[in-house]
Structure 1
Amino acid sequence: MSISNGSKVALVTGGTRGIGLETVRQLAQAGVHTLLAGRDRAKAVDAALKLQAEGLPVEAIVLDVTDAASIDAAAKEIERKHGRLDILVNNAGIIAEDRSLTKPSQQSLAAWRETFDTNVFGVIETTKALLPLLQQAPAARVVNVSSLLASLAAHSEPTSPIYDFKIIPAYNASKSALNSWTVHLAYELRDTPIKVNAVHPGYVKTDMNAGEGEIDIPTGAKTSVDMALLGADGASGGFVYLGETLPW
């Protein structure tokens, strides 16, 4: 299925539910041919079919960001079908910690490793594998879904709303590392048309936080979509939420 009508091609990891699924929907509604990526083929296909039934240009693809073979297979499939990738939204992420253990020193090393494997190493490996395809696009965009919980400045400021939220340290630190990767990749690509940014979706009501949150899922996907569709005059190497620059 090659794209011959000039549509952009996007890939959203972790696209079978929550913010990822809504990001797929909004990109497709904007006319972007969007690859809905998920670890489970059946779930990815089911989600894609539902969006296709709404008349949206969505295609399922299997991609497990913790599996090198899966990443390689997805990259080859995209190259064969489309020859390029205009947008990569690194949305897949996990919280692998017991929130009842409120002290950072109580979190298990296994939880740290599992969290970083998806939230950091998976993003890096996926981006590296897809970078040649992004470089084939006229002006590609890379969006790394981070969190305000990544902000060292906010965690260090007693008046910050997240100052006392230190109960999921591996997740928080993984997003800080993701922000650092964003800055470094943006610097590497500074003389190219590719723009790389990190986004905070907001405190969204999703399964990941057991339905807690302050904003709905469509609003939570908005910043990712805005940065995915960023114009040529947009910044690169930033950390943003609904147009606002956040502190590192």
Structure 2
Amino acid sequence: MTANSGIGFELAAQLLASQSNTVLLCSRSRDKGDDAVRNLKARGLAGSLDLVILDVAEEASIYAAAKHVEEKHGRLDHLVNNAGIAAPRDVSVFEGLDKSFRVHVMGPAAMVEAFAPLLQKDPDSNPRDNNTTTTTTTTTATECRTPRVINVTSGAGSIALRAASPPGTVHYRPGIGPYCVSKAAMNMLTACQAADYGPLGWKVFAFNPGFTASNLSEINRVEHGAQPTSVAAAAMVDILEGKRDGEHGGFLNVEGQEVW
């Protein structure tokens, strides 16, 4: 999980409350990643933590990270794709779409492909960790292990909401086309991954955290009504613990299902 700030950081903190969990915290920046690790360790949490340097927009970085995880941890239980960027400004349409798709679509697609062999590994064959989650993710050794993938998307990726929203509402702001289009594509990517990996016993979800305080944009602030990161993180912990496996392949939010 890319987790040096925001929802990813809070999710890592909640997972680390359990001694049986190992969180592989991913960061593009070594300095920011080290800061996140120090801040998490300062909380005295019971779980184990490892920093993985990874740029989800670069294919070579993704496969290098997968190799590192295999060599150090042997396997992976769950994968959380939560890297995100706001709609690029002052760039061409081509460049804006390219940046958004690299982070929201191409990266998550490559993450699943690169880490699939580790998610498929039998825990007994590589008993190096208890529970491991990569929060792009942690490995959990259980008698019947179910790999879970969460693609963190947005209500802005809902075509139904966009079509039904009148001008001036949150889903109709000008200039956010590349963000909306890439998140809609992420939703379809999730549906495809659910179809591809579901027969192998995986559970795959698109998850909309809702309007949450983060560094995504200047709008995502508590003073503007954004919910604390703890709300979305707690819902994601429930998903990783199997409490929403019946919604495999769905477009989830904190309380239920989103419209596609």
Q: TM-score, normalised by structure 1?
A: 0.85
Name the structure 2 match of 1:142.
149
Alpha-carbon separation, structure 2, partners of 1:221 and 1:233:
17
Give the SS at the match of 1:208.
coil
Match of 1:127 among 91, 112, 121: 112
Name the structure 2 match of 1:71.
62
Deviation at 1:194, TM superposition (A): 1.1
2:166 and 2:172 in contact (8 A); partners too: no
Structure 1 residue 241 and structure 2 residue 253: aligned? yes
Match of 1:215 among 222, 227, 245: 227
2:37 and 2:51 in contact (8 A); partners too: yes
Name the structure 1 match of 2:176.
168
Alpha-carbon separation, structure 2, partners of 1:222 and 1:87:
16
Instruction: Pick closer, same or farther for the CA change 1:108–1:158 going to 2, 3 Å.
Output: closer
Match of 2:12 among 18, 24, 41: 24
What letter matches 1:59 in structure 2?
D
Alpha-carbon separation, structure 1, partners of 2:244 and 2:231:
24
1:154 and 1:162 in contact (8 A); partners too: no
Deviation at 1:29, TM superposition (A): 1.6
Match of 1:40 among 29, 51, 58: 29
Give the SS at the match of 1:222.
helix
Alpha-carbon separation, structure 2, partners of 1:198 and 1:108:
26
Moved more, 200-209 or 176-185: 200-209
Structure 1 residue 187 and structure 2 residue 195: aligned? yes
What letter matches 1:127 in structure 2?
V
Deviation at 1:51, TM superposition (A): 1.1
1:201 and 1:222 in contact (8 A); partners too: no
Structure 1 residue 198 and structure 2 residue 198: aligned? no
Deviation at 1:223, TM superposition (A): 2.8
1:201 and 1:241 in contact (8 A); partners too: yes
Deviation at 1:224, TM superposition (A): 2.5
Deviation at 1:83, TM superposition (A): 1.3
Structure 1 residue 115 and structure 2 residue 116: aligned? no
Instruction: Pick closer, same or farther for the CA change 1:77–1:217 going to 2, 3 Å.
Output: same
Deviation at 1:126, TM superposition (A): 1.4
Moved more, 117-126 or 144-153: 117-126
Greater RCO (Cα-Cα under 8 Å, separation 6 or more): 2
Alpha-carbon separation, structure 1, partners of 2:60 and 2:250:
31
What letter matches 1:65 in structure 2?
V
Structure 1 residue 178 and structure 2 residue 186: aligned? yes
Deviation at 1:231, TM superposition (A): 4.1
2:77 and 2:147 in contact (8 A); partners too: yes
Moved more, 147-156 or 20-29: 20-29
Name the structure 1 match of 2:134.
none
Structure 2: any 5+ residue segments left out of the alignment?
A: 123-144
Alpha-carbon separation, structure 1, partners of 2:174 and 2:156:
9
Alpha-carbon separation, structure 1, partners of 2:42 and 2:165:
49
Q: CA RMSD in A?
A: 2.1
Q: TM-score, normalised by structure 2?
A: 0.81
1:89 and 1:224 in contact (8 A); partners too: no
What letter matches 1:246 in structure 2?
E
